Structure 1
Amino acid sequence: MTSGTATVGTATTTEPGQESRPQAWSLTGLLVLLYVINWGDKAVLGIVAQPLADELGLSASQIGLVGSAFFVTFTIGGFFAGLLDRWMTLKWSLVLLSLGWAVAMLPVVLAATFVVLLASRMFLGFAEGPTSAMVHTGVYSWHRPEKRGVPSACVTAAASIAKIAVAPALALVVATWGWRAAFVALAVVGVAWCAIWLPAWREGPYGKQAAAKSTRESPRTPDPASARKADGEPAPVPWARIFRTPTFLGGVAAILPMYAVVTVVLTWLPSYFEVGLGYSRVQAGVMFGFPSIVSLLMLFVLTGISDRLLSRGSTSRMLRGVLPATGLLVCGLSLAALPYVDVPWLAVVVVSVGYSFGASIFPLFNSAISEVVPTRQLAGTLGVFLALMATGGLIGPYLTGLVVDAAATPGDGYALAFQIFGVLSVVGAVIALLTVNPERDRARLVGPPAAATTH
Structure 2
Amino acid sequence: MFAAASTAARGDARAHGGASTSVRRVSSTWASVGARWGRETRVVREGTDARGMRRRARGARVVVDAASEEREIVRKASTRVGVSRSRSIEPEIPEDEDWEFEFPKSPGDVTTLWRGCPSRYRILFVTVFAFVVCNMDKVNISVAIIPMARDFGWTSTQAGFIQSAFFYGFAVSQLPGGFLSTKLGGTKVLPFGMLILSLATLVIPVFGVDEKSIFLARVLVGLGEGVAPSAATDIIARSVSVSERSRAVGFVFSGFNLGSVLGLGVAPILIDLTNWRTVFAIFGSCGLVWSAWAMRVYGDGGMVDESKNYDPVEGLQGRRVFTIDKKAMERGEAIPEDPPIPWGEFISNPSVRALMYVHYCQNWGFYVLLAWLPTYFTDELGVTLTNASLLTLLPPLANVAMASVSGPTADKLIRTGMDITRVRKTMQAVAFLGPATAMSTAAVLDQPVATVGLLTLGIALGAFSYAGLYSNHQDLSPKYASILLGMTNTCGALPGVIGVPLTGYLIRETGNWELSMFLPAIFFYITGTAVFAKYGSGERQAFSGQPMPLPGESPEPSDSGGH
Q: Distance in 2 between the 1:48 and 1:242 partners?
A: 40
Q: Distance in 1 between the 2:203 and 2:213 partners?
A: 7
Answering whether residue 485 of structure 2 is matched by residue 379 of structure 1, we say no
What residue is the counterpart of 2:558 in the other structure? none
Superposed CA offset, 1:222-250 (max 9, x none):
xxxxxxx999xx99873322333333222
Deviation of 1:114 after TM superposition, in Å, equals: 0.9
Q: Which secondary structure state, in structure 1, belongs to the residue aligned with residue 320 of structure 2?
A: helix
Q: Distance in 2 between the 1:186 and 1:393 partners?
A: 21
Q: Aligned in 2, Cα 1:307/1:230: closer, same or farther, shift over 3 Å?
A: farther
Q: Aligned in 2, Cα 1:443/1:82: closer, same or farther, shift over 3 Å?
A: closer
Task: Tell me which moved more, 339-348 or 360-369.
Answer: 360-369
| 1:433 aligned partner, one-letter code | A
**Which of 320, 341, 347 does residue 211 from structure 1 map onto?**
320
The answer for unaligned runs of 5 or more in structure 1 is 221-228
Q: TM-score, normalised by structure 2?
A: 0.72
Q: Which has the higher contact order (CA 8 A, sep 6+)?
A: 1
What residue is the counterpart of 2:358 in the other structure? 254
Deviation of 1:84 after TM superposition, in Å, equals: 2.3
Q: Aligned in 2, Cα 1:10/1:393: closer, same or farther, shift over 3 Å?
A: farther
Answering whether residue 196 of structure 2 is matched by residue 100 of structure 1, we say yes
| 2:481 aligned partner, one-letter code | L
Q: Aligned in 2, Cα 1:340/1:177: closer, same or farther, shift over 3 Å?
A: same
Q: Is the 8 A contact 1:102 1:190 kept in 2?
A: yes
Deviation of 1:272 after TM superposition, in Å, equals: 0.8
What residue is the counterpart of 2:534 in the other structure? 434
Q: Distance in 2 between the 1:97 and 1:211 partners?
A: 21
Q: Is the 8 A contact 2:179 2:482 kept in 1?
A: no
Superposed CA offset, 1:284-308 (max 9, x none):
1111111112212222212111001
| 1:73 aligned partner, one-letter code | G
What residue is the counterpart of 2:145 in the other structure? 49
What residue is the counterpart of 1:225 in the other structure? none
**Which of 68, 90, 93 does residue 17 from structure 1 map onto?**
93
Q: TM-score, normalised by structure 1?
A: 0.88
Q: Distance in 1 between the 2:158 and 2:254 partners?
A: 29
Answering whether residue 453 of structure 2 is matched by residue 356 of structure 1, we say no
Answering whether residue 508 of structure 2 is matched by residue 405 of structure 1, we say yes
Superposed CA offset, 1:81-105 (max 9, x none):
1342266443332222111111111
Deviation of 1:61 after TM superposition, in Å, equals: 0.9
Deviation of 1:340 after TM superposition, in Å, equals: 2.2
Q: Is the 8 A contact 1:107 1:116 kept in 2?
A: no
Q: Distance in 1 between the 2:538 and 2:279 partners?
A: 42
Percent sequence identity over aligned pairs: 18
Q: Distance in 1 between the 2:341 and 2:552 partners?
A: 20
Q: Distance in 2 between the 1:444 and 1:210 partners?
A: 17
The answer for unaligned runs of 5 or more in structure 2 is 1-10, 17-62, 72-88, 97-116, 302-312, 555-563
Q: Aligned in 2, Cα 1:305/1:91: closer, same or farther, shift over 3 Å?
A: closer
What does residue range 127-276 of structure 1 map to in structure 2 within 5 Å? 127-201=224-298, 202-203=300-301, 204-205=313-314, 211-212=320-321, 217-219=326-328, 238-276=342-380
Q: Aligned in 2, Cα 1:133/1:166: closer, same or farther, shift over 3 Å?
A: same
Deviation of 1:321 after TM superposition, in Å, equals: 1.6
Deviation of 1:110 after TM superposition, in Å, equals: 1.4
What residue is the counterpart of 1:308 in the other structure? 412
Q: Aligned in 2, Cα 1:451/1:297: closer, same or farther, shift over 3 Å?
A: farther
Q: Distance in 2 between the 1:302 and 1:188 partners?
A: 33
Deviation of 1:205 after TM superposition, in Å, equals: 4.9
What residue is the counterpart of 1:226 in the other structure? none
Answering whether residue 473 of structure 2 is matched by residue 369 of structure 1, we say yes
Q: Aligned in 2, Cα 1:22/1:348: closer, same or farther, shift over 3 Å?
A: same
Q: Is the 8 A contact 1:269 1:288 kept in 2?
A: yes
Q: Aligned in 2, Cα 1:57/1:10: closer, same or farther, shift over 3 Å?
A: farther
| 2:217 aligned partner, one-letter code | S
Deviation of 1:181 after TM superposition, in Å, equals: 0.7
Deviation of 1:358 after TM superposition, in Å, equals: 2.5
Q: Aligned in 2, Cα 1:374/1:24: closer, same or farther, shift over 3 Å?
A: closer
Task: Tell me which moved more, 236-245 or 181-190.
Answer: 236-245
Deviation of 1:364 after TM superposition, in Å, equals: 2.3
Task: Tell me which moved more, 200-209 or 5-14.
Answer: 5-14
Instruction: State the aligned residue count.
Output: 439
Q: Distance in 1 between the 2:383 and 2:280 partners?
A: 24
What residue is the counterpart of 1:391 in the other structure? 494
Q: Aligned in 2, Cα 1:154/1:217: closer, same or farther, shift over 3 Å?
A: closer
